[in-house]
Structure 1
Amino acid sequence: MSFYRESRLPVGNGWWEVVDSRLVVGRALQEIGFDQNTASNIETGVLRDLYNAIKVTIPIEFCEMKKLHLENLPNLRSFSSGNLVKWESLENVVVNQCPNFRKFGLGMIKKSQLKSIFIQGNEGQIIDIDNNMVAYLFEFLLLVKKLKELHIINVDVEELWDYNYPSESFCELENLSLINNNKFFSAISSGMIMRFKNLRKLTLDKCESLTEVFDLEDDNLDHKVHEILPQLEVLALINLIKLKNAWNKEPQVSFFPNLVYLYIVNCGNLQSLFSLSSIKNLEKLKILKLCKCDKIEEIISSDISEDEMVPIIFPELECLVMKDLPMLVSFYKQSRTLCWPKLNTVRVSNISKMETFSTGILVTPFLTSIYVTFVKKLWFGSLNNTISYMHGNPGKGKNLKSHYQGIGVE
């Protein structure tokens, strides 16, 4: 099915194309009686007319189409060969398992319409796109102001963010997923951080070269913004085997003031999660899940310059999950008071080196047990006592069945 008409010279059994072959045309003209000069003048004019005919196209308008979904098209390279298609109402683009797809050629898109883009390569096969291809693959983003979702899966894009994008591009983005990308060393540059004022969810999964999430290469960033990612609610860092730090340098301004859910799973090089000075930015954090991080030794890194008399408070945290952390020694090693006024659920498993949760005072008024399996709970009067019991009696808590005087297992 063709979406436009052109006048072109047919060649062979494939697509129509123009072949500039003076020998073929000139010889044919001479064979029917024209002299050489006349034949040359005729073939020059014919080919010029054919070339001009190629440029004559009839644009097709999809006035009501809101979603474009391309899936499992292994030979597809482009939707159209040029700027021939007008999309007056297009809101969502999905490209799934189209390994040779390199150019949308989407033509005219109303700036206020396109809201979500989903690009996925074949499962188990990563599409390797060089930097020259990136410009084509994301050419239509130059026209987009209201894009709210961008999901890129199984596509290697070494430099996703191009500083040549107009300043308004990505400013409305709310949901960003980068999954199974092997060339990123850092996911978000300082230039893009300033644009992501409306970003609510960020997911990074299987980006095997990623060593840091945010690259603050701009030394003046702290002077340009008052808050970093002020609307971010969900941050998921999963299967980032080389991740060492969230930042290449910690910002001096507020960040993540609205973060609610933080998931960190299988980040084998991560050694600590928060600096002490960053805790003040997590006042709205409700769920913290930390699993399968082989090198992490403490959740909050020690900072002796801080006043030890000031308590550390997680005012909204309700659920804490710590599983398969073989090197974890303590949540916080120093003797500061930790306050958890709303904490009611703690799940722990395979934290064999943790002798005590923290050396300081723990305030957990609503915590009455610790889950050691999905359903079984253990409690010995306090969070510290329970963790100490688990350390001294590895594996026993899961097998106990009695519950006595509020202390024990249920």
Structure 2
Amino acid sequence: MTLVKPTTPHSSSGIFPVLNSLEISYARRLKEIFHGELPTGSLKEIRSLKIEFCSSLEGIFAFEDDEEMFNFQSLTELTLSTLPSFTGISKYISNGSEWLLEDISPEQSDIIIQPLFDTKVHFPVLTKVYIISLNLKEIWNSQLSAESFCELKYLGVTGCHKLLRLVPTHMQNRLQKLECIYTSYCSSLEEIFEFRRLTVDDEGDAAALTISESRNQSRQAFQNLREISIFSCESLRTLLSPSIARGLVKLQRLKIKDCEKIEEIVAAAEGEETEDDNLFPQLCTLTLEDLPNLSSFSQGRYNFKWPLVKDIKVLKCYNMKRFCLGSLSTPKEVKIDVQGASKSVLQVLNNSRNRI
């Protein structure tokens, strides 16, 4: 079932040319919303698109021609929620046949991954994205148009249990205006910011290798990110690489809760004995809660000078023996709450007061 199928794609009359907001809910038989190329001027004023609880929906667009594209020139907010059959923003239909991920053989399915966002649909002014309960392994195509997602400020992902990574390396410099990341209940999520890749040697053994990172690149990515909140992502082991951490110069709120495998927040840089950079200089609140395998905030010798921090909570982190290896400085007024962690963690935090 299709919601809209234009009969004359090159008509001068666009579809919904003055519509500001479109919400589709509980359309259980709907498989696609737009079929074929839309006339010029279609959806040119739409600013908010919300699609939820459509059990058969496979995509927003079904294109018949490989050259067809669409530009959401005014869309600023997109919500996709509880769409179990959704394979991507668009799909390609040729001679009445659909190319879908489920048509791939089991042997190919581990090699070919269909991202949520592809090269056919552009999002030049999108600022907020909410992705909830979708069966996807990847969010972003590596060949997106140059203007897409450069204005994104909020990224929220919940209940996507097949998702492996949130922000791959090819997206990191594109998301320079991102201000908030919220992720929860993504049981397979291994990385928020990709900094490891899986390689297979000649004998078929897999190994994780750290992707090379430069200090100059780290200064460019995520320099406007102010909040990171991660809840119930049980496969996550490390939150930030050293490169990404150095770039978070405006981070104010960091909250990690109920991630049972996470071992450290900032990974140690290989081969570095000391680090002069001050990480997270604008941090205001830090919450680490119910992280049973967390051994420390960081094993790297970094400086954590936090003159603006007001609240630090470390709760039910039973394996945490130390807070960090580097230096820590906080103001006298900071509120510190440590429960379910080593006494040395509380001691280090208390001793950090008045060092600014």
Question: Cα distance 1:175–1:326, how it changes in 2: closer, same or farther (>3 A)?
Answer: same
How many angstroms apart in 2 are the aligned matches of 1:55 and 1:337? 63
Q: Residue deviations 1:367-410, cap 9 Å, x none? A: xxxxxxxxxxxxxxxxxxxxxxxxxxxxxxxxxxxxxxxxxxxx
Rounded Cα–Cα distance in structure 1 between residues aligned with 2:82 and 2:353? 47
Distance of aligned partners of 1:288 and 1:278 in 2 relative to their CA distance in 1, 3 Å threshold? farther
Aligned to 1:74: 28
- Aligned partners of 1:89 and 1:230: how far apart in 2? 30
Residues 359 and 223 of structure 1, relative CA distance in 2, 3 Å threshold: closer
Q: Which residue of 1 aligns with 2:242?
A: 250
Question: Which of 318, 325, 328 is residue 320 of structure 2 equivalent to?
Answer: 328
CA deviation after TM superposition for structure 1 residue 120, in Å: 0.4
Gaps of 5+ in 1: 7-53, 367-410
Quick check: 2:118–2:141 contact (8 Å CA) kept in 1?
A: no
Q: Which moved more, 1:169-178 or 1:135-144?
A: 135-144
Once residues 121 and 193 of structure 2 are traced to their aligned partners in structure 1, the CA distance between those partners, rounded to angstroms, is 23
1:199-210 equivalence runs, <5 A: 199-210=178-189
Q: Structure 1: which amino acid aligns with 2:351? A: L
Shift of 1:242: 1.2
Distance in 1 (CA, whole Å) between partners of 2:3 and 2:327 is 70
Percentage identity across aligned positions?
15
What is the rounded CA distance, in whole Å, between the counterparts of 1:91 and 1:55 in structure 2?
A: 22
**Counterpart check, 1:148 vs 2:148:** no
Tell me what 1:357 maps to. 346
TM-score, normalisation: structure 2: 0.74
1:114 and 2:75 aligned: yes
In 2, Cα distance between the equivalents of 1:312 and 1:92? Answer: 40
SS at match of 1:246: strand
1:235 aligns with 2:235: no
Distance 1:267 1:358 in 2: 24
1:177 Cα offset (Å): 1.1
2:82 maps to amino acid: G
Give the superposition deviation at 1:231. Answer: 0.5
- Between the aligned partners of 1:140 and 1:67, the Cα distance in structure 2 is 23
Cα distance, 1:65 vs structure 2: 0.8
Secondary structure (helix, strand or coil) at the match of 1:226 reads helix
- Secondary structure, aligned partner of 1:270: coil
Q: For the structure 1 residues 237 and 250, does the alpha-carbon distance in structure 2 shift closer, same or farther, using more than 3 Å as the test? A: same
Alpha carbons of structure 1 residues 111 and 222: separation in structure 2 relative to 1, 3 Å: farther
Identify the match of residue 226 of structure 1 among 198, 219, 237. Answer: 219
Aligned residue among 123, 140, 147 for 1:161: 140
- Whether the aligned pair in 2 keeps the contact of 1:91 and 1:113 (CA below 8 Å) is yes
Q: What root-mean-square deviation, in Å, do the aligned CA atoms of Structure 1 and Structure 2 show?
A: 3.5
Q: 2:53 aligns with which of 97, 108, 115?
A: 97
Query: Which range moved further: 140-149 or 62-71?
Result: 140-149
Distance 1:159 1:278 in 2: 35
After TM superposition, the score normalised by the length of structure 1 is: 0.65
Aligned to 1:282: 280
More strand as a share of residues: 2
Contact 1:187-1:214 at 8 Å conserved across structures? yes
Larger RCO: 1 or 2 (CA < 8 Å, sep 6+): 2
Is the Cα–Cα contact under 8 Å of residues 260 and 290 in structure 2 kept in the other structure? yes
Given the alignment of the two structures, is residue 212 of structure 1 paired with residue 191 of structure 2, yes or no? yes
Q: 1-side partners of 2:48 and 2:234: how far apart?
A: 32
Looking at structure 2, the residues matched to 77 and 127 of structure 1 have their Cα atoms a distance apart, in angstroms, of 9
